[in-house]
Amino acid sequence: MINVAIVDDEKEMRDSLKGYFDEYTRVKGEKFRIFDYAGSIDFLNEYKANYDLVLMDIDMPNMNGIDAARRLRAADKSVTLVFVTNMAQFAVEGYEVNAFDYIVKPVSLYDFSMKLDRALERIKKESDVRIKINVGHTVKVLSSKSIKYAEVTGHKLVYHTTEGDFATTYTLRELEQKLANNGFCKCNNCYLVNLRYVNGVDGQCVDVDGNKLQISFSKRKEFMRTLNDYLGSGGG
């Protein structure tokens, strides 16, 4: 089940898109749970990082889609964002907020289906993995999408996440195997990096959401190849 948020001030447009999702399900069998919002402020006020895909209009009252997307990215860097707009001239600003794609109104079923194919390919490539860790005397479940990077320090494995830092006795090798094919890569033997949080590479350091991590000489070639493949497939 794919969770989708439609954010558009025009009810007719929201209903039309929901109809397209129904048709996509009929033809291809993919199932969706749809939530629709008449404005960006309501969407942001109720936002929880449980969506796989957000379809957002740009031209909306009170807060336009670009400004809303900036606030969205402050809360969720990874959700797949597609602008649905009649303001194609502003869609290039989507790169600033890491928009995956945009669809120009009026939206045809063919164009919608083609763009949705691409978005789902990306979403499934980055499917979420749930990881149970022991924190003190309790068990906590982490979403792989919330992990920025994992770090070996002493005899502990520390998860640096959007919710804070958590130390466990899990090994980095075990974690790497569990997260194989989910957009993670080692930059050295101490760090396993979630590529969706990479802001850039400068020399022998990678910026992971503001944290500078060392790239070892032995890992650099593999790390850069994996990062370029990830970016080339629409990630990041």
DSSP-derived secondary structure for 194-219: EGGGEEEEETTEEEETTEEEEPPHHH
Residue for token pair 């629709």: 36
Give the model confidence (pLDDT) of 164-192 as tens digits. Answer: 999 998 889 999 998 887 889 999 999 99
Helix ranges restricted to H, 101-195: 109-125, 172-178
The CB-side HSE value for 72 (13 A sphere, CA atoms) comes to 32
pLDDT of residue 40: 95
Mean pLDDT of 146-160: 93
Q: Residue 100 corresponds to which tokens in the numbers above?
A: 């995956």
If you count them, how many residues does the chain have?
A: 236
Each residue of 29-42: b (16+ CB within 10 Å) or e?
eeebebebbbbbbe
For the cut 70, the answer to whether the pLDDT of residue 233 exceeds it is no
**What pLDDT band is residue 107 in, cutting at 50, 70 and 90?**
very high
Give the model confidence (pLDDT) of 41-74 as tens digits. Answer: 999 998 876 788 999 999 999 999 999 999 998 8
Residue for token pair 């959700």: 79
For the cut 60, the answer to whether the pLDDT of residue 26 exceeds it is yes
For the cut 80, the answer to whether the pLDDT of residue 128 exceeds it is no
